């Protein structure tokens, strides 16, 4: 019984150590640009742009496959703000 308990304790500790090291070695910095672009959009979630709501549009703009000009309810000031943000924060 003690031998099995010690085996599981050691095995769990080794697996935890491996997972802890892997989380540091393979860490990827998340791209927060989609969230920040979403804050600049009007937030109507109308789908008029062809994307499933403003969050889909913001994600597409951040990855480069979307264009803010297709957002029909946004004003020109909002479109300019998104364009200025993208100029300041290009894709990595």
- Sorted by where each begins, the domain ranges of the chain are 1-29, 33-88
The answer on pLDDT for 4 being more than 90 is yes
**Residues 73-81: contacts with CB within 8 Å, 24+ apart?**
73/42, 73/44, 73/46, 73/48, 74/41, 74/42, 75/42, 78/40, 78/41, 78/42, 81/40
CA distance linking residue 41 with residue 51, whole number of Å = 13
Q: Selecting from 3.10.129.10, 3.40.640.10, 3.10.520.10, 1.10.15.40, what CATH number does the domain 33-88 have?
A: 1.10.15.40
For every residue of 53-85, DSSP letters joined together read HHHHHHHHHHHTS--GGG-SSS-HHHHHHHHHH
In this prediction, residue 16 carries a pLDDT of 97
46: left (phi over 0), alpha (psi -120 to 50) or beta: alpha
For 10-51, how does the pLDDT look when each residue is reduced to its tens digit (9 = 90+)? 999 999 999 999 999 999 988 899 999 999 999 898 888 889
In this prediction, residue 48 carries a pLDDT of 87
In this prediction, residue 21 carries a pLDDT of 97
């Amino acid at each position: 019984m003690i031998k099995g308990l010690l085996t599981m304790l050691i095995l769990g500790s080794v697996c935890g150590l491996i997972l802890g090291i892997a989380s540091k070695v393979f860490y990827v910095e998340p791209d927060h640009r989609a969230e920040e672009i979403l804050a600049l959009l009007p937030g109507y979630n109308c789908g008029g742009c062809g994307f499933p709501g403003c969050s889909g549009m913001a994600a597409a703009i951040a990855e480069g496959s979307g264009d803010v000009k297709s957002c029909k309810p946004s004003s020109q000031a909002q479109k300019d703000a998104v364009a200025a943000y993208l100029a300041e924060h290009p894709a990595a």
